[in-house]
Structures are given as structure tokens and as C-alpha cells.
């Protein structure tokens, strides 16, 4: 995919992505041609602030964070592998969390 100055590519879908979703930032999951799923967030000041905050190692409500992480992971697996273990999943190429 071409670089988009309005979106940030997020590869840490188990760390920063759930942190952003927990703070009401929309993370879009997209499946690449090679089958890998990556996330995209809007490129704005709030996203950069939250990413820096996450990197600083904030105190988190663990159960809440894990709930967001599980939801994101289930959507990731749905996009990557397809429902019920099917390898082709044409209906879910892009999904917003």
C-alpha cells in the first residue's frame, strides 16, 4: 500500500493498537496481499500523544486493557485466517475496530 500522510501504520496490534482503541481512537485493520494484517490509525496529535504515553509505560487497568486486546486479536485472526479456519476470506478485507 502507498504511504498515506493521513494514516499511521501500526504493527504492534497487541500493544499500542488496543491502547489506542481503549482511548477511543479508531484503528482500521487491513489484510495485505501476503496475508499479514496491519492496523492504521489517523495521523493526528492525539494519536502521537497516546503512542508516546504508551511507550512511557503507564499504569493501566489490566482487565480493561486485556478485553480490548482480545477483541482486537479476534478481529485480526478473522481477517488473517478467515472464519472457521478458512484461508480465503474475501468479505472482510478491511475492518474498523
| DSSP assignment of 16-73 | HHHHHHHTT---EEEE-TTS-EEEEEE-SHHHHHHHHHHHT-----HHHHHHHHHHHH
Going by the DSSP 8-state scheme, the letter that residue 8 receives in this structure is: E
CA distance 5 to 8: 8
Query: Quick check: pTM over 0.85?
Result: no
pLDDT at 86: 46
Contact of 4 with 38, CB cutoff 8 Å: no
Give SS3 for 10. Answer: strand
pLDDT tens profile 44-76: 999 999 999 999 988 888 898 899 899 888 888
pLDDT tens profile 12-42: 888 899 999 999 999 999 988 888 888 999 9
CA distance 27 to 75: 11
pLDDT at 2: 55
Residue 85 has pLDDT above 50, yes or no: no
The mean pLDDT of the chain is 82
Amino acid at each position: 500500500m502507498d504511504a498515506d500522510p493521513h494514516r499511521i501504520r501500526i504493527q504492534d496490534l497487541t500493544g499500542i493498537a488496543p491502547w489506542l482503541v481503549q482511548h477511543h481512537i479508531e484503528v482500521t485493520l487491513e489484510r495485505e496481499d501476503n496475508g499479514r494484517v496491519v492496523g492504521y490509525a489517523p495521523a493526528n496529535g492525539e494519536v502521537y500523544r497516546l503512542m508516546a504515553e504508551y511507550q512511557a509505560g503507564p499504569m493501566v487497568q489490566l482487565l480493561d486493557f486485556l478485553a480490548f486486546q482480545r477483541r482486537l486479536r479476534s478481529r485480526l485472526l478473522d481477517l488473517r485466517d478467515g472464519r472457521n479456519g478458512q484461508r480465503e476470506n474475501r468479505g472482510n478485507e478491511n475492518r474498523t475496530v
